Amino acid sequence: MRLAPGAYLTWPVERYPDRTCIVFEGQTFTYRETNRRVNRLANGLQRLGLKMGDIIASLHYNCNQAFESFAAKWKMGYTEAPLNVRNAPPENIYVINNSKARALIFGGEYLDQVRAIRRELPGVEFFICHSSPEHHEFIDYDELLANSPEDEPYVELDDTQLTRIMYTSGTTGRQRGVSMSYRLRIEGFKNMFMNFDAYFDCNDILLTVAPLTHGAGLHLLPFYLKGAKLIIHPRFNPRRVLETIEQERVTVVLLAPTMIVMLMQDPEIYNHDYSSLRRIFYGMSPIPLGQLRKAISLFGPIFRQNYGLTEAHQPLATLHPWEHVQEGTPEQIKRLSSAGRRALGVEIWLADPDGNPVPRGEVGEIVVREDQAGWEYWGEPEESAAVFRNGWVYSGDLGRMDEDGYLYIIGRTKDMIISGGYNVYPKEVELVIDSYPGVKESAIIGTPDTLWGEVVTAVIAPERGENLTEEEILEACTKHLAGFKKPRKIFFVDELPKNPYGKVDKNKLRQMYGQPSDEDTVDLQFINKKQ
């Protein structure tokens, strides 16, 4: 099958050329103007000597250039290797070299970093910098556009060609690049169109604060294809988000759970008008039940959760707005802690350690199949064989599915705690602690112990101004959990450490709190006798 990928991106330009496409930092670009800039960049990259199939890395905060860079690569059949804006320099070096990128497009905010690591990037031939007047030794982005034609580029390519190498968050070790083809990305667009429950069109106004270099940033594309207005913030700022929703009459926003919590903590939260909002998408990591119920009370039943993976983009499962109930049966309230039910076009089942299906209600590894899933890790055949099997993706996530098909994420297979021969799933304990008044969020890890092998350890971030005690947390756990699931150690912190993708960094927590002591073991023996 042959494909002209640019035909997708020009579709809204033909229909809405004079409508506002992008609003960024006081600049406004129509669909026609945006397309012209994309074409100039695409043609400029080709004139530099880049060929179809070449890999181009990108490193910038959200901006109009981030979208232009993506679209130009798409039109010319290049492969994109986006870099997470929160990566440390060694992580960027690894991704750029591992992906074999020939070019790097980056924002001026990374000028000093690129200068420092340039010598460690032997495969990069072209360094292209935007948004800085200080980059004389690099190719100037605006000059490249100014000296290139705006003619519509046209290329045909095999739809199995790579469009993106998307690197995982590295929660279990080194980042791995997931290979995504043009066909898979197009299937991803179709999946979103099929599963988004709110009809959206050119009258929608989308506020984008999630990094465009992250998988969540792909949510912008369906709205672009429909001709909506796209308001882009360089990074998440709670106060600015609140002001923009009111001033611009935003209709749709995608927020990570941490962002939702930070919005509600802003002192100005009750002084703004949110009546224009029709949908708040969230996902990427769990949100404490108490925080979600508070958010529903504040914004209304307009939330929609999407579950997805780097290896298989969302929505794989979804919890619809009408399932976000404040008043209902205990079962309905419980479902607020779920990831919802499988999306249209997706198959999901749960596997035991031997690869056999587990019955409903039991814990197993989440296994998915869909038309937009990746098919390998870039350059890692052994890891690929373990995760991508006969069209199925073995996610590494542990889950439980109830009789009605609601999927509950329990944790990661590598996060499971084995204490005294019993399996403890961190998410079960986190749900109990997170529902306790005054808890903002918690993380459960297993830490080494000479008697039990591992013990359940809780690291808790209280709400601002709350003074929680170990005794009250243990009392709450005793009411809802078996004795072997209760935390043996409890630590209170101001904030939980997060990785560049906004997920709790449990590797760092294990390093910080994972050292056993003789005193701990004696206490455990005493506790065991009392039980």
CATH at residue 111: 3.40.50.980
Is 458 inside a domain boundary? Answer: yes
**Longest Cα separation, the chain:** 79
HSE-up of residue 138 (Cα within 13 Å, Cβ side)? 26
Q: pLDDT tens string for the chain (531 positions)?
A: 577 778 889 999 999 999 999 999 999 999 999 999 999 999 999 999 999 999 999 999 999 999 999 999 999 999 999 998 878 888 899 999 999 999 999 999 999 999 999 999 999 999 999 998 887 899 999 999 999 999 999 888 887 888 999 987 654 456 789 888 888 888 777 777 777 765 688 999 999 998 888 776 778 888 999 999 999 999 999 999 999 999 999 999 999 887 898 899 899 999 999 999 999 999 866 677 888 999 999 999 999 998 988 888 778 999 999 999 988 888 899 899 999 999 988 999 999 988 999 999 999 999 999 876 667 889 888 888 889 998 899 998 889 999 999 999 887 777 878 787 677 878 889 988 998 999 999 999 988 876 677 889 999 999 988 999 999 999 999 888 878 889 999 999 999 998 766 678 888 898 898 764 444 433 333 233 223
DSSP assigned state of 353? T
Is 423 inside a domain boundary? Answer: yes
- Which residues lie closer than 8 Å to 280 by C-beta, 6 or more apart? 252, 253, 254, 255, 260, 295, 299, 302, 303, 304
Task: Report DSSP letters for 381-435, one per residue.
Answer: HHHHHHHEETTEEEEEEEEEE-TT--EEEEEEGGG-EEETTEEE-HHHHHHHHHT
Last residue of a domain, one of 128, 158, 188: 158
Q: Which of 427, 436, 486, 478 is nearest to 461 (CA)?
A: 436
Is 40 inside a domain boundary? Answer: yes
Please report the pLDDT score of residue 500 as a whole number: 62
Preceding omega of 315 cis (within 30 degrees of 0): yes
DSSP assigned state of 201? -
Last residue of a domain, one of 135, 158, 181: 158
Please report the pLDDT score of residue 140 as a whole number: 97
Question: Structural domain tally of the chain?
Answer: 2
- Count CB atoms within 10 A of the CB of residue 441: 24
Helix, strand or coil for residue 175?
A: coil
Is 481 inside a domain boundary? Answer: yes
Contacts of 405-408 with CB under 8 Å at 24 or more apart are 405/341, 405/342, 406/335, 406/338, 406/339, 406/340, 406/341, 407/307, 407/317, 407/338, 407/339, 407/340, 407/341, 407/342, 407/348, 407/366, 408/337, 408/338, 408/339
Is 37 inside a domain boundary? Answer: yes
- Separation CA 255–CA 481 (nearest Å): 31
Q: Which of 222, 280, 171, 231 is nearest to 506 (CA)?
A: 171
Per the DSSP assignment, residues forming a β-bridge with 126 are 103
CA angle, 457 as apex, 453 and 461 as ends, to 5°? 165
Residue 24, Cα to own-chain centre: how many angstroms? 22
CA angle, 78 as apex, 125 and 94 as ends, to 5°? 55
CA angle, 275 as apex, 272 and 280 as ends, to 5°? 95
Please report the pLDDT score of residue 271 as a whole number: 94
Is 140 inside a domain boundary? Answer: yes
Please report the pLDDT score of residue 43 as a whole number: 97
- Separation CA 140–CA 193 (nearest Å): 37
CATH, residue 458:
3.30.300.30
Q: Which domain holds residue 149?
A: 1-9+31-158
Is 427 inside a domain boundary? Answer: yes
E strands present in 289-355: 303-307, 317-319, 341-342, 347-351
Q: Which of 198, 159, 200 is nearest to 3 (CA)?
A: 159
Is 311 inside a domain boundary? Answer: no
| Residue 112 identity (one-letter amino acid) | D
Please report the pLDDT score of residue 450 as a whole number: 64
Last residue of a domain, one of 158, 173, 193: 158
Angstrom distances, CA of residue 414 to CA of 110, 165, 425, 523: 34, 24, 10, 27
E strands present in 68-142: 79-82, 103-107, 126-130, 139-140
| Residue 73 identity (one-letter amino acid) | K
- Residue for token pair 């002001």: 243
Both tokens assigned to 269: 């939260």
Per the DSSP assignment, residues forming a β-bridge with 446 are 456
